Amino acid sequence: MIHAFTYCCFLCNAGYAYTSDAQQIWRIADALECGLLGINEALVSTVEGPHGGVKESGIGREGGVGVGIEDFLEVKYLCIGNQ
């Protein structure tokens, strides 16, 4: 499933996954190519957080903390909720 999700050139800005396995959280976060990723959390977008996608769904980020070099990076915002 992760391969099919990341193979597409048009990706969603956000991805969501639910797991209680701590190691699985980091494998999912590393494997999925998306701008925002919620683990055990449905509401990942906040005013303070960065917004943007990857590949052809969006280049760069808006908002959030950081300017300068971060404009040239693929930043992934990871929100991990309690389970």
- pTM (2 d.p.): 0.51
Q: CB-based contacts of 2: which residues, under 8 Å, 6+ apart?
A: 28, 31, 32
Q: For the residues 68-72, what does the mean pLDDT come to?
A: 62
Split into its structural domains, the chain has a count of: 1
Nearest-Å Rg of the Cα atoms of the chain is: 13
Instruction: Quote the pLDDT of residue 30.
Output: 83
What is the separation of C-alpha 35 from the centre of its chain, rounded to a whole number of angstroms? 4
> Domain span at residue 7?
2-80
- Give 5-60 pLDDT, tens digit per residue: 544 444 556 677 888 888 888 888 888 777 777 888 877 766 666 666 565 555 55
Instruction: Quote the pLDDT of residue 4.
Output: 46
CA 19/CA 2 separation, integer angstroms:
15
